[in-house]
Structures are given as structure tokens and as C-alpha cells.
């Protein structure tokens, strides 16, 4: 049984991805088969194909997706065939030490489908346990979150990864609230989502920092009240001068580099919060005076996937989008076909797009 569908896979380290026919099993207990409508192209997909995440090739890429549930296995009660769902990579287990302590957004045993999709008999490793550059994909039931079907699939799918990471860095991890001042370092998809999230949460001053003037234009569209081109000006000085010499309540790093982390560290007010949502590479180091870490107080946090809980956050964010309060469409720079992912990787590397989204 099972079905054959077209899908984009990365066969070997550094090799261009290719469109192949793969086999998708029928859903077993606790599994769901989703017909994919849209899937965003994310840095993580490129990192998989570069072998930077693991060497378990071949990978089935794609993970920022929305679609329609085609069929469900036994014991699935959260979704039904025909439901419009956004896919997520945090299907919490309910049983690990974090879930048991009431902090499921740190779940250490998130669920994936038990059966494997295959290509020419070889088991595929789906990106982030999803694998959605495919006409259909098999996931664990908890990886599908039902949302209002009035939302556009291209926009809704982005909630499943980078946009959620940024929104959640501000709203969940940074706990931005009414009256806060916020600075966001890096105004790509993640940083601009952090700006949009800060605006939704009621921040009165939102300062976007980037080295690319086009990204700063976008930052203003998403809600930045001020922007700083840090290739031209010292962002710490500008942020201080915009905040009566104090610094911001919440400084969000959405690049993943030591120099921007250091800027975020020094740009925050006493007892403020730094949130690191950008992902550093293993070689990066940072040297900070311990006395400054002590003396400035507050908290230095990391945000994994925006500390989101998909069932709590996705339907709420889609509702805000449908009410016109969160412009998810603006994150979609272009829509492409399944054969155009390599070109989209290049555009992403050149910083030309927020998100390219594959429509199926």
C-alpha cells in the first residue's frame, strides 16, 4: 500500500537537491497524511543539504508548511480528513521531565511519524521530522495543528518555523509587553517577525538594526518605529540615545553572531532581557566581562522555536492574521514551484528574499 508522490530530496552533502518520486506509507497509529499546499524555504533546509545538521542523507527537505489532512491513522483525535493544518516540529510528548514540570515548550521528546518515507527503498530523513517539499508527507498527529481555513496556505505555513521563532522570541521568550522598548538585531524573516510580535504585544519603541538598508525598509513596514544601519552607525550608541541613555527593555538577537549578541547585550537597559534567537555556528565564541553580566542584572535567554506551543499559538496567530493585525503575507517574497528550490537557496544566501514559498 502507500502512495508514490513527487518530493525534493538532498542525496549527498553539498549536492544540488533533486525532484524525485518517493513512497509515502499510509498513516499508522498516531500518524497523519497531509496533502501539502505550500512550504517555505528556510536556512535550515540549506543547512541539511550542506551536511551541517547531520549526515543522515538522503534528506527529505521542507518544513514550513500548510496543507489539508488527507487521512489519519488509529488513535488520532486532534485532526480529521479535510482539516486545514499548519505543520510543526514541536509535537510535545507530555511525558518527559519538561512536560511533567509544566514547561512543554522545552519538550525533550517531541513526536515524529514512526513509519519512514522511502526513495528507491532507502529510508528518508525528513527535515525537522517533517519533510514537506512533497506533494504529501507523513507526520505524527501532534505535528499537525488545525487553523482557520480562510488563511492563505503560503502565509499560514510560515507560522510553522521562522516566523513563529521571531514572533515567539518577542512574545513568549522576551515577554515583551505594553510600554516596553525593544531592539531587534537582524531584520530578516526571523527579526521582522520579532518586530511584528513586539508591535502586537504593545511595545512603544521598536528599533530595528541591520547592515542592509532594504531590510530596514521592511522593518519599518512590520512596525519598527526607528531603524539603525549598523554598517554606518554604532547601534549601541544610537539605541541609548533613543532611550534617554538607558537602553531597551528587551534586546533580541536574530542573526546568530557574536558581534550582534554583544551589541544586544550592551544595548539593553539595567535588568533588561536579551533573547538569542539567531543560531550561531559551532566555532563562534564570545568574551564578556563577568562583572557586566552580574552588574546589569536581568536575564540572558535563548529562544528555541520561539518557545511556542503550536496548539496554543498557531490558531491565535492565524486569527490575528485574518483580522488584519499580523501581516503574514508580507513575509512571502515570492512563490515558486518544486523544481526551483536551488535558485531559492541562492536568493536566500544573497539576502534578496524574506521567504520563497513553494506552492504545490
Contact with ligand APR (CB under 6 A): which of 172, 173, 230, 273? 230
Indicate left, alpha or beta for 248 from its phi (over 0: left) and psi (-120 to 50: alpha): beta
* Minimum gap (Å) between residue 166 Cβ and ligand APR: 7
Candidate list 31, 49, 64, 243, residue with the active-site label: 64
Question: E-assigned strands of the chain?
Answer: 3-10, 18-24, 31-40, 59-60, 64-72, 84-87, 118-119, 122-123, 125-126, 136-140, 144-146, 181-185, 205-210, 226-229, 248-253, 268-276, 299-302, 332-336, 355-359
Candidate list 6, 23, 96, 257, residue with the active-site label: 96
- Residue 308 designated active-site: no
- Residue 50 designated active-site: no
- Tell me how many helices (H) and strands (E) the chain has: 11, 19
Candidate list 39, 107, 187, 308, residue with the active-site label: 107
- Residue 47 designated active-site: no
* Nearer to ligand APR (CB atom), residue 99 or residue 167: 167
Candidate list 49, 135, 161, 173, residue with the active-site label: 161
Distance (Å, rounded) from C-alpha 202 to C-alpha 179? 6
Distance (Å, rounded) from C-alpha 172 to C-alpha 182? 14
Contact 27, 33 (CB under 8 A): yes
β-strand pairing of 268-276 with 248-253: parallel
* Minimum gap (Å) between residue 224 Cβ and ligand APR: 13
β-strand pairing of 31-40 with 205-210: unpaired
* Nearer to ligand APR (CB atom), residue 104 or residue 191: 191
Asked whether position 260 contacts ligand APR by CB under 6 A, the answer is yes
Contact with ligand APR (CB under 6 A): which of 27, 191, 247, 306? 191
Asked whether position 130 contacts ligand APR by CB under 6 A, the answer is no
Which helix (H) or strand (E) is 238 found in, with range?
helix 235-242
- Residue 111 designated active-site: yes
CA-angle at 63, arms to 25 and 355, nearest 5°: 145
User: Which among 63-71, 79-87, 206-214, 332-340 is the span making contact with ligand APR, rule CB under 6 A?
Assistant: 206-214
Distance (Å, rounded) from C-alpha 111 to C-alpha 118? 19
* Distance in Å from the first CA to the final CA of the chain: 23
Contact 86, 65 (CB under 8 A): yes
Asked whether position 146 contacts ligand APR by CB under 6 A, the answer is no
Among Zn ion, ligand APR, none, residue 96 binds (CB under 5-8 Å by kind)? Zn ion
User: Which among 146-154, 188-196, 295-303, 333-341 is the span making contact with ligand APR, rule CB under 6 A?
Assistant: 188-196
Candidate list 42, 226, 243, 296, residue with the active-site label: 42
User: Which among 24-32, 83-91, 131-139, 184-192 is the span making contact with ligand APR, rule CB under 6 A?
Assistant: 184-192
Contact with ligand APR (CB under 6 A): which of 93, 96, 279, 336? 279
Instruction: Report the interface residues with Zn ion, using CB under 5 A.
Output: 42, 44, 93, 96, 99, 107, 109, 161-162
CA-angle at 201, arms to 258 and 325, nearest 5°: 115
Residues contributing to the site for ligand APR (CB under 6 A): 43, 162, 165, 185-191, 209-212, 215, 230, 254-257, 259-260, 277-279, 351
Question: Which residues are marked as active site?
Answer: 42-44, 63-64, 93, 96, 99, 107, 111, 161, 355
Amino acid at each position: 500500500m502507500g502512495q508514490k508522490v513527487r518530493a525534493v530530496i538532498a542525496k549527498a552533502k553539498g549536492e544540488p537537491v533533486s525532484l524525485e518520486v518517493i513512497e509515502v506509507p499510509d498513516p499508522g497509529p498516531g500518524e497523519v497524511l497531509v496533502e501539502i499546499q505550500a512550504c517555505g524555504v528556510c536556512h535550515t533546509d540549506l543547512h541539511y543539504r550542506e551536511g551541517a545538521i547531520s549526515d543522515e542523507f538522503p534528506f527529505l527537505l521542507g518544513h514550513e508548511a500548510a496543507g489539508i489532512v488527507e487521512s489519519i491513522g488509529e488513535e488520532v483525535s486532534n485532526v480529521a480528513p479535510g482539516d486545514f493544518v499548519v505543520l510543526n516540529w514541536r509535537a510535545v510528548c507530555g511525558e518527559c521531565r519538561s512536560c511533567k514540570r509544566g514547561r512543554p515548550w522545552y519538550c525533550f521528546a517531541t513526536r515524529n511519524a514512526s513509519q519512514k518515507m522511502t526513495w528507491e527503498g532507502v529510508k528518508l530523513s525528513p527535515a525537522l521530522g517533517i519533510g514537506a517539499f512533497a506533494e504529501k508527507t507523513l507526520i505524527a498527529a501532534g505535528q499537525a495543528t488545525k487553523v482557520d481555513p480562510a488563511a492563505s496556505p503560503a502565509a499560514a505555513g510560515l507560522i510553522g518555523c521562522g516566523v513563529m521563532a521571531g514572533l515567539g522570541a518577542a512574545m513568549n521568550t522576551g515577554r515583551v509587553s505594553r510600554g516596553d522598548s525593544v531592539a531587534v538585531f537582524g531584520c530578516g524573516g526571523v527579526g521582522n517577525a520579532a518586530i511584528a510580535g513586539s508591535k502586537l504585544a504593545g511595545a512603544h519603541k521598536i528599533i530595528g538594526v541591520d547592515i542592509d538598508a532594504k531590510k530596514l525598509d521592511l522593518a519599518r513596514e512590520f512596525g519598527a518605529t526607528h531603524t539603525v544601519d549598523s554598517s554606518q552607525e554604532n547601534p549601541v550608541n544610537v539605541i541609548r540615545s533613543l532611550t534617554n541613555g538607558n537602553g531597551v527593555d528587551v534586546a533580541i538577537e536574530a542573526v546568530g553572531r557574536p558581534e550582534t549578541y554583544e551589541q544586544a547585550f550592551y544595548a539593553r537597559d539595567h535588568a533588561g532581557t536579551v533573547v538569542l534567537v539567531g543560531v550561531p555556528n559551532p566555532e563562534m565564541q564570545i568574551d564578556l566581562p563577568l562583572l557586566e553580566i552580574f552588574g546589569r542584572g536581568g536575564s540572558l535567554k535563548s529562544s528555541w522555536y520561539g518557545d511556542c506551543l503550536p496548539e496554543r499559538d498557531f490558531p491565535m496567530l492565524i486569527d490575528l492574521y485574518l483580522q488584519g493585525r499580523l501581516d503574514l503575507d508580507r513575509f512571502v517574497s515570492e512563490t515558486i514551484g518544486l523544481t526551483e528550490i536551488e535558485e531559492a537557496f541562492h536568493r536566500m544566501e544573497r539576502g534578496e528574499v524574506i521567504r520563497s514559498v513553494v506552492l504545490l
